[in-house]
Amino acid sequence: MPHTKRRRLVTTALAVALGATTLAACGSGDDSKAESGPVSLTYWTWAPGMDKVVDLWNKGPGKKEQITVTVKKQASGDSLITKILTAHQAKKAPDLVQAEYQVLPTLVSNDALADISKEVAGVKGKFADGVWQQTTLGTDAVYAVPQDIGPMMFYYRADLFKKYGLKVPATWQQFAEAARALRKKAPDKYLTTFSAGDAGLFAGLSQQAGAKWWTTSGQKWKVAINDAATRKVARFWGGLVKEGVIDNQPMYQPAWNKAMDTGQEIAWVSAVWAPGTLTTAAPDTKGKWAMAPLPQWSAGQDVTGNWGGSSTAVTTDSAHKEAAARFAAWLNTDPSALNALAKEGGIYPASTSAQLSGAFTNPPAFFSNQPDFYTKAAGIAKTTAPSAWGPNVNVAYAAFNDAFGAAAKSRSDFTAALDTMQDATVADLKKQGFGVSR
């Protein structure tokens, strides 16, 4: 990219991320002219069964309003972001995209997402403040409508906790004590594992502790991945790994599946979507697990982190921003749409009203022994701490995988790995041309 063009992009990125709200006019076309007559929208998404959900719109509100949506299935993760940005450079991005919360700053900083604050102003109250904040980037703009979330929780084998006389930990100190007690009573078992290949898990744990990895200072980004809150989390988990009271193998691998299924590991720090994973990873343990709030750093606290989740955004290339925003709001607030999303895509809705209705009136089949599963989950979701994402989350996560992977394997200092992650993230921002404040 030529230097002058790159500098212009960087300036635009900072203006957007630091509070400007005028960006949405770019690329959105003349809405008053564009909205007359039939409108056809394209939606890039990876969610399973989304075509069936969109059919509800096309046969109902969409038919009435002459707004038709066509689903184009895509791969998720970095490959989708790359594809969106490539299409945007050619001014051929789709009207709507499914975007994970942590990638919104990247898309916004590249002028790829429109501000739809005026179009969706009426739906803000349907979401918890901490969830809605992720789509505003701390500004007056709104760059997406929340779709699903992953509030973090503590899962444990109720039968084995009872067998070994363990109490469900309310604090992280009690969590560590339970890990030590189990190893003494059953040396062949671990309470859980620290998976160094899951940066999203560590980010959620740090979020719960109060970390804000990316913030802004004036016209510059400030990176604080190695702040006091995150160092506390790193020291805690690194200490347990070094002590040998928790395992250090990666999750989702055959060895981890076996450990979960046979009771070699009897707890899991995860999110609301865990029942689906346990169904495949530990099928023989159905009905033996229970869910509780995440342990707290101080007794009496009530806060959790978020691991996963996505939103529906309107691109600046769309000639039908108003129509696209209308669909995005319907998709993520209409009861029939949300029930279909849960049924077809297995999502846990960001909409607070949907968390106790429709598909969520009964517990997951794997947790049939816990009738109040979703009642508890809805209460926990309300306590989600605000997050703070930046324009190069992918770089930070890659650095986490490398540095923490090596530290976990050697049982060495996790805070040193944190410093490596911090340095890599700052260096990449500077390389991209962003101003960085220390």
pLDDT tens, residue order, the chain (438 aa): 333 233 333 333 444 444 333 333 333 333 434 455 699 999 999 999 999 999 999 999 999 999 999 999 998 778 888 999 999 999 999 999 999 999 999 999 999 999 999 999 999 999 998 899 999 998 899 999 999 999 999 999 999 999 999 999 999 999 999 999 999 999 999 999 999 989 999 999 999 999 999 998 888 999 999 999 999 999 999 999 999 999 999 999 999 999 999 999 999 999 999 999 999 999 999 999 999 999 999 999 999 999 999 999 999 999 999 999 999 999 999 999 999 999 888 899 999 999 999 889 999 999 999 999 999 999 999 999 988 899 999 999 999 999 999 999 999 999 999 999 999 999 999 999 999 997
Sheet with strand 436-437: strands edge to edge: 214-217, 220-223, 436-437
CB count in 10 Å sphere of residue 290: 18
Distances (CA, A) of 405 to 9, 73, 176, 424, 428: 34, 32, 21, 15, 20
pTM of the entire predicted model: 0.89
